Chains A and B, each alone.
Chain A
Amino acid sequence: MGNKPHNIFESSYRLFYGKLFSALVSQFGLGYVNQIEDAIQNAFLKSLRIWKSNQMPDNKENWLYIVARNDVINQIQKATKVTSESIIATVDENETVESDLRLQTILLFSSSTRISTQTKVVFILKNIFGLSVREIADSTLLSQDAIYKSIKRAKKNLQLEFANQPIVAFPGKATQKEVSIVEEILYAVFNIGFDSFDEKIQSIVNDDLCLEALSLVRLLFEKYKYNSTRNLLALFCFHIARIPAKVNNGKLVSFFRQDKTQWDKKLIDLAFYYLQKPSQLNKFYIEALIVSKYMTANLYDAEHWNDIVKLYRLLVNIHNSPIVKLNLCYALHKAQREDEASELMNKIEKELPDKHVYFSLVKADILRKMDSKQSEKIMETVLDQIDQTIRKEYLLEKGFINF
């Protein structure tokens, strides 16, 4: 399944999902969100059974849209026993899905005052980016159960809040807070694409998610011009520039061993163009700065790592997440400030779930010199937890963490 010699479905179903969802919500309203989800799922299943090399719609997206739209109409008719005329009267038969309403839909959901940011992220990952609950669980610290509940809650509240709100044009203004939530969401999507742990996908990078996130962030920046969005764009460009060097002959290549000549020079230039110091520090600016330091350093010596430590300290002040602290911890270790690293590690351990993979890897690395037996033991547990072959091979060969 990994290789696709005949890629008939070529464009991404994930992309279709978000576009169809946004278009159908704008037509039928959020009151029918359950029917819309089922209809899109059914349309995809139908395409699996019907499409063949000699039996393929000219415009696949539109075919899916019409099938899903008719399915929604059927469901409404069945449930309400309303005659078809009254529903069809409100639906334009010739409508196509050409306009892309995803960003507008994300903005609308972001403006909700009834649901938490995390719930918004989960809901949008599912319905705009077309990830399944399992895929979201694989890529976040959340359980499938929690995700189901989140989505259910989100639907209920969004329906109450925006039942009759049309999703048509871009709101003329968006506050920094609303834009920040959209940025968070798109950043989460990007990270899921950039470092996929999905066992079904043998390649490490899910380019489609990264590129979709990038294109929506670019659109967001063009519309509202916030500095944080601009620096998020810089961050994305720095990361995407390295994708060509990230996997070589089916093997994952650690950041420090990548062939830098394979990095995309144009994207790095673009990243520096977008990187811009804000009047008030924001986390994307610091993160982009950290990546730019890594990517331009000639030597990874104590001086380099001490610089990185400084930047991570700034970042922790703005965004105090266990993962950021874990990165700081690793940088301290590389700067040979072992006492500070150990102390921080003990603090973080309490904030993360048991056997957290990334934490275990950092811990194993830090303990390697001090307590090699325990370090090996941790590595063994990590390997047991990881199903993805490419990642396993990488860890076995390098015994080292992935940047």
Chain B
Amino acid sequence: MKKFLLLLHEDIEKMSSLSPLEMEELGNAHFAWANKLAESGHLISGDGLHEDGVLIAGKHSVVKDGPYLESKEVIGGYYLLQATNLNIIVEIAKECPCHLWGGTTEIRPVMDMEEYGQ
């Protein structure tokens, strides 16, 4: 089994203009989707992320507040998934409710020693 990190890039503007009903439906869709992945054994973990964070850069370790306020997109959450190959994860990610409101999903395969031979 290989591991994959699924990052959910959300469109901040769209997300904050959702109506209560739309948010409720989105919440239910995420829940149903995560449940399905848990049942099929693809889900390892997943969480939502705070919009504000901290950036530390340079050799002097300059600490700054998260850059997210100026950007149109923010990583709103992640899922850690597992499958035998990337194609399966692509099919799974296509159904991620994140896409319903202008979001983008990014799949990053987790590097594994085994891929590089003995």
Contact = CB atoms under 8 A, between A and B. Distances in A.
Q: Tell me whether A and B are bound partners.
A: yes
Interface of A: 1, 4-9, 12-14, 16-17, 41, 44-53, 130-132, 134-135, 200
B110 interface: no
Given A51-B31, A131-B21, 19 more contacts: A4-B28, A4-B32, A6-B28, A6-B35, A9-B27, A9-B28, A13-B21, A13-B23, A14-B20, A16-B20, A45-B23, A47-B27, A48-B30, A49-B48, A49-B77, A53-B34, A131-B19, A132-B17, A135-B21
B20 A13 contact: yes
A1 B23 CA distance: 11
Interface centre among A7, A48, A132 (most CB of B within 10 A): A48
Given A13-B24, A49-B48, A8 B31 contact: yes
B76 interface: yes
A53 B19 contact: no
A131 B24 CA distance: 12
Interface in B78-114: 97, 100
Given A45-B15, A49-B49, A50-B48, A200 B31 contact: no
B71 interface: no
B37 interface: no
Nearest to A6: B32
A8 B27 CA distance: 8
Nearest to A209: B21
Interface centre among B18, B21, B34, B48 (most CB of A within 10 A): B21
Contacts of B30: 48
A180 to B, nearest CB: 27
A48 B32 contact: no
Interface in B18-56: 18-32, 34-35, 46-49
A103 B93 CA distance: 44
Interface centre among B23, B29, B47 (most CB of A within 10 A): B23
A44 B25 CA distance: 12
B33 to A, nearest CB: 9
Given A45-B15, A49-B49, A53-B35, A200 B28 contact: no
A223 B77 CA distance: 47
A343 to B, nearest CB: 41
B19 A130 contact: yes
Nearest to B26: A48
A348 B3 CA distance: 64
B16 interface: yes
B25 A1 contact: yes
Nearest to B77: A49
Contacts of B19: 130-132, 134-135
B36 to A, nearest CB: 9
A48 B17 contact: no
Nearest to A130: B20
Contacts of B26: 1, 48
Nearest to A8: B31
B21 A130 contact: yes
A9 B77 contact: no
A53 B31 contact: yes
A48 B100 contact: no
A403 B89 CA distance: 47
A7 B28 contact: yes
- 9 closest A-B pairs by CB: A49-B48, A132-B19, A13-B20, A13-B24, A130-B20, A17-B20, A8-B31, A6-B32, A44-B23
A53 B36 CA distance: 12
Nearest to A44: B23
A48 B97 CA distance: 12
20 contacts: A1-B26, A1-B29, A1-B100, A4-B28, A6-B28, A7-B28, A8-B27, A8-B31, A9-B24, A9-B28, A13-B21, A41-B16, A47-B27, A48-B23, A48-B30, A49-B48, A51-B27, A51-B31, A130-B20, A132-B18
Given A1-B100, A13-B20, A132-B18, A48 B27 contact: yes
A196 to B, nearest CB: 10
Nearest to A48: B27
A12 B24 CA distance: 7
Contacts of A130: 19-21
A41 B19 CA distance: 9
Contacts of B18: 132
A130 B19 CA distance: 7
Interface centre among B15, B25, B97 (most CB of A within 10 A): B25
A14 B22 CA distance: 10
A134 B27 CA distance: 20
A6 B23 CA distance: 15
A6 B77 contact: no
